[in-house]
């Protein structure tokens, strides 16, 4: 395979029990089809020796049992599969989720600052963020935390210089060209625009996470009353 003209893929050692396969240098929605195809090939090639697969925007981390497979043998498996890899277009046919979201400074304390940074009004920021459909590229950081993209370039903004010690559950946030919704209350340095009423992480749900790699997400703006009626929490973000 070729990666948008890049001399890829590249294999990078990740300890004694893993290889990081760098398939692309740039984030692109089409990357997911190739990364998913490689994940499927790894499941077949490694069998019981496979411990974990961790996809991201441009890479796939392959973790294996070193008691069953040497790093050199794992590298050979990967090289062989990469040589015959075909894009898995089915990976782009995930579920579509519409997340009711209340965009308001009380629950989106960075909304006005992002607007100023972008040279837009708050209403334009909301329209811009809510008008796109985002692909889930990876899950990580916290259970059910979905890294989504690609965000409109006008809203591209860096992480906070000082991360918050606690980002409330269901906070909708952005950084770079990524967006996400926090499934649990955790520390975080992303810019918070609002809050969704969707239940993103549920121990009673199969797989726990509402969102999975390959799914598409739309953030649907709702007013405060609708947000509350859907179970949303209006408690303001504590900035102290």
- CATH superfamily, domain 96-229, is Cyclophilin-like (2.40.100.10)
> Concatenated DSSP letters for 34-85?
HHHHHHHHHHHHHGGGEEEEEE-SSEEEEEE-TTTS-HHHHHHHHHHHHHT-
Provide the 3-class DSSP secondary structure of residue 217: strand
Per-residue pLDDT tens digits of the chain, which is 240 residues long: 444 444 468 999 999 999 999 999 888 878 888 988 898 899 999 999 999 988 888 999 999 999 999 999 999 999 999 988 887 676 666 789 999 999 999 999 999 999 999 999 999 999 999 999 999 988 877 778 999 989 999 999 999 999 999 999 999 999 999 999 999 999 999 999 999 999 999 888 777 889 988 899 999 999 999 999 999 999 999 887
Phi, psi of 194 (to 5 degrees): 180, -155
- Strands 96-102 and 216-221, how do they pair? parallel
Q: Return the domain boundaries, the chain.
A: 10-91, 96-229
Provide the 3-class DSSP secondary structure of residue 88: coil
Do 227 and 203 contact (CB within 8 A), yes or no? no
How far CA 102 is from CA of 82, 125, 174, 226, 233, in Å, comes to 44, 13, 15, 9, 10
Whether the full predicted model's pTM is greater than 0.85, yes or no, is no
**Token representation of residue 9:** 């893929």
What is the dotted CATH code of the domain comprising 10-91? 3.30.1360.40
> Token pair 């989106």 is at which residue?
108
For residue 31, the model assigns a pLDDT of: 87
């Amino acid at each position: 395979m070729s990666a948008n003209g890049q001399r890829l893929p590249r294999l990078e050692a990740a300890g004694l029990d893993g290889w990081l396969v760098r398939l692309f240098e740039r984030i692109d929605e089409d990357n997911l089809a190739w990364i998913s195809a490689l994940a499927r090939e790894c499941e077949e090639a490694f069998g019981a020796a496979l411990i974990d697969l961790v996809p991201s925007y441009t890479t796939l981390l392959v973790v294996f049992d070193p008691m069953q497979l040497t790093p050199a043998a794992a590298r050979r498996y990967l090289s062989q599969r990469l040589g015959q890899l075909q894009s898995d277009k089915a990976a782009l046919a995930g579920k579509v989720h519409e997340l009711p979201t209340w965009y308001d400074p009380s629950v989106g304390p960075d909304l006005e600052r992002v607007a100023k940074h972008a040279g837009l009004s708050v209403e334009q920021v909301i329209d811009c963020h809510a008008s796109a459909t985002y692909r889930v590229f990876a899950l990580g950081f916290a259970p059910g935390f979905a890294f989504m993209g690609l965000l409109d370039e006008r809203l591209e903004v860096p992480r906070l210089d000082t991360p918050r010690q606690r980002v409330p559950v269901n906070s909708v946030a952005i950084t770079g060209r990524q967006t996400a919704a926090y499934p649990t209350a955790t520390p975080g340095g992303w810019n918070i625009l609002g809050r969704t009423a969707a239940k993103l992480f549920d121990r009673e749900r199969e797989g726990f996470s509402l969102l999975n790699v390959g799914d598409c997400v739309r953030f649907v703006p709702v007013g405060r009353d609708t947000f509350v009626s859907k179970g949303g929490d209006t408690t303001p973000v504590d900035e102290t």
